[in-house]
Chains A and B, each alone.
Chain A
Amino acid sequence: MKEKIHIFQPKLSWLAIPFALIFIAYFIVPLTLTLIVSFWDYTEYSIIPDFIVGNYIYIFDGCFTFENGLCLTFKTYISTFFFCFFTWLITLLLGFCVAYFLAFYVNSLPLQITLFLICTIPFWTSNVIRMVSWIPLLGRNGLVNDTLITLGLIQEPIEWLLYSTFSVILALVHLYTLFMIVPIFNSMLRIDKEVIEAAYDSGANQFQIIKNVIIPLCKPGIIIGSIFVITVVMGDFLTIGIMGGQQLASIGKIINTEMNYLQLPGAAANSVILLFITIFIIIVMTKFIDIRKEL
Chain B
Amino acid sequence: MHKKGSLGFFIFLIIFSFFVVFLYGPILSIILLSFQGPSGGLTFPLNGFSLYWFGELWKGSGLVDIGASFRRSIMLGIFVMILTVVLSVSAGLAFRKKFIGSDLLFYTTIASLIVPSIVLSLGVALEFRLIDSIIVTIGEMFEIQIILENFQTSLGMYTSGFGAQLTWTLPFGLLIMFAIFNRFDKSLEEAARDLGANPNQTFWYVVFPIIAPSIVGIALFGFTLSYDELARSSQVMGATNTLPLDLRGLTTTVTTPIIYALGTVTTSISFLVIGISLSFVYLLRHRKIK
Contact = CB atoms under 8 A, between A and B. Distances in A.
Interface stretch (A58-66, A71-79, A122-130, A215-223): A122-130
B33 interface: yes
Contacts of B225: 124
Interface stretch (B56-64, B89-97, B140-148): B89-97
A261 interface: no
Contact of A7 (B91, B190, B231): B190
Interface residues of A, number: 94
A271 B123 CA distance: 9
B214 interface: no
A128 B260 CA distance: 11
A101 B12 contact: yes
Contacts of A7: 186, 189-190, 193
A112 B160 CA distance: 40
A235 B167 contact: no
A248 interface: no
B27 A12 contact: no
A274 B266 CA distance: 33
A101 B102 CA distance: 37
Interface in A140-186: 141-143, 146, 174, 177
Contact of A128 (B106, B174, B179, B251): B251
B266 A129 contact: yes
A13 B220 CA distance: 26
Contacts of B248: 128, 238, 242
A31 to B, nearest CB: 5
B116 A274 contact: yes
Given A30-B123, A142-B43, A197 B94 contact: no
B127 A23 contact: no
Interface in B110-132: 110-127, 129-130
B108 interface: yes
Task: Select the residue from A104, A235, A255 with max chain B CB neighbours within 10 A.
Answer: A235
A10 B125 CA distance: 39
30 contacts: A8-B193, A15-B91, A16-B102, A18-B87, A22-B170, A23-B108, A23-B167, A25-B163, A26-B166, A102-B16, A118-B23, A119-B23, A124-B273, A125-B270, A127-B228, A127-B244, A128-B230, A128-B247, A129-B263, A132-B260, A133-B29, A137-B26, A146-B44, A232-B114, A232-B116, A246-B252, A271-B116, A271-B118, A274-B119, A275-B115
**What 3 pairs between A and B have smallest CB-CB spacing?**
A235-B116, A30-B123, A13-B99
